[in-house]
Amino acid sequence: MFEDMVRDGRNRVGGIYELAEGIYTQEMKLLEIDEQLSQTEEALSRYGAELDKEVAFDQTLKNEEQRKARRQELRNGDVNYLRIAEQLKSLQRDKKVAQIDMNRLRNLFTVEKLRFQLNLAEIQNYASLQLPRLLTQEQIEEIENDIANATGS
């Protein structure tokens, strides 16, 4: 029984390390998506500014409503602008999915940590109940002293 508890604890530590590595990988993925988002937003902004400049210099447009309608017409008719805008939407969706995955990994990490702490508490409880039967009081005190010295307590 005690060996099973120890083995379970070791397995949990391995799972915790794997989850920590998964969190790191997901954070790097989010960073990459953020960089792509920033670049795409800048490109869309520059492209939109070019279209706005075209509208601004169009002397046939008499008022703001006409300019607004022309601006929208240019954006809707420009394949490059629409492609960049679609790419931006796709990256925004990718970021949301990556954030959801990150939250899931963090939650799993927390649960695994709590399970490990429970396992450790079970081992300590079992040991505190079993050691007096297996060891003399002098041996127990020696072990307690070794633990205190090792942990600086």
pLDDT of residue 130: 73
0.75 cut: is pTM over it? no
Render pLDDT for 33-66 as a digit per residue (tens, 0 to 9). Answer: 999 999 999 999 999 999 999 898 888 988 999 9
Q: What's the CA gap between 14 and 4, in Å, rounded?
A: 15
CA distances to 9, 10, 114, 138 from 126, rounded to whole Å, are: 14, 17, 18, 19
pLDDT of residue 88: 97
Render pLDDT for 87-138 as a digit per residue (tens, 0 to 9). Answer: 999 999 999 999 999 999 999 999 988 888 888 888 788 777 776 666 677 8
Domains in the chain: how many in total? 1
Q: How confident is the model at residue 145 (pLDDT cuts 50, 70, 90)?
A: confident
Q: Could you tell me the residue range of the domain that residue 54 belongs to?
A: 2-151
Mean pLDDT of 9-14: 70
Mean pLDDT of 75-90: 95
Cβ contact 148:62 at 8 Å: no
Q: H-type helices in the chain, by residue range? A: 2-56, 64-77, 79-134, 137-151
Burial of 101 (0-12, 13-18, 19+ CB in 10 A): middle
pLDDT of residue 117: 85
Write the CATH number for 32: 1.10.287
